[in-house]
Amino acid sequence: MTGRTAVQEPRKLTKKGEATRARILEHAAELIHTNGVAATNNEQLRRVTGISGSQLNHYFPTKESLVVAVIEWQAERVLHFYGGDQFAGFDNIDALRAWVDYYVTHESAYRDGCTLGSLASQIIKSDLQVHDELARVFDQWRDIFRDGLQRMQSLGRINPDANPTQLADLLLSAFQGGMVLTQVQQDVTPLKNALNAAIDHVQTFAA
C-alpha cells in the first residue's frame, strides 16, 4: 500500500464552514457507529442535521470522502484519549492497569464496542477506498503503545529482551479482540481477562 486514498485534500473553509463540517461529521460518526457504514446515507444525515443535500455534497462529495473524514474524526478522539495525560504515554505498568480499569469500570466505554475497531470490521470487506487511511490510524494507535514500551525499556523499567513492537501488537489485539468477545457475550469479563493477561505478560519483563 503506497500513497494516500483517492480523496481530495480538504479545501480551506471559513469558520462557519468548519463548524458546519464538524456538525455533519459528528452526526455521521454517530449514525455509522449505531447503524453501520452501509446503512448510513445522505437522507438520514439531512434529517438529523437539517443541512441540505447540496450542502452535504459540498463538504463530502462522495461516500469515501465522508467515511475517511469519520475515520479521521474517530481517530482524533481515540489518539487524543490514548495520548493524553491520563495514561502518561503508557510508559509504566500502572498506566496500563489504569487503562484496563477505565474500560472495566465505565460501561459506556465497552457497551458499544470500539469506535475504530467496529468501523474497521465493517470497512475491511467493503469496496470503499479508505483502507490506507484506516491502516495509517491503526499504525499510529499501535505506536502509542510501542513508544511507551520503548520508553519503559530505556528507563530500565522492563528488560532489554522485551520486544516493544510485539508487545504493542499484543496489547492492541487483546483490546480489539476482547471488545468483540465482550460485545458478543454482553459481559465485560473477556475484555478484562484478555487485557489483564496481556499486561501480566508485559510485567514478566519488569526489571
Binding site for its own copies (CB under 8 A): 1, 34-36, 38-39, 113, 117-118, 120-122, 124-126, 131, 134-135, 138-139, 142, 163, 165-167, 169-170, 172-181, 183-186, 189-191, 193-194, 196-198, 200-201, 204
For its own copies, give the closer residue by CB, 55 or 196.
196
CB–CB of 22/79 below 8 Å? no
* Least distance to its own copies, CB of residue 45, Å: 18
* Least distance to its own copies, CB of residue 39, Å: 7
Q: Rounded CA gap, 39 and 31, in Å? A: 8
* Least distance to its own copies, CB of residue 131, Å: 7
Q: Rounded CA gap, 127 and 107, in Å? A: 33
For its own copies, give the closer residue by CB, 39 or 88.
39
For its own copies, give the closer residue by CB, 52 or 163.
163
For its own copies, give the closer residue by CB, 54 or 204.
204
Q: Where are the beta strands (DSSP E) in 92-155?
A: none
Q: Rounded CA gap, 194 and 178, in Å? A: 6
CB–CB of 67/42 below 8 Å? no
Which cell numbers in the block locate residue 113?
464496542
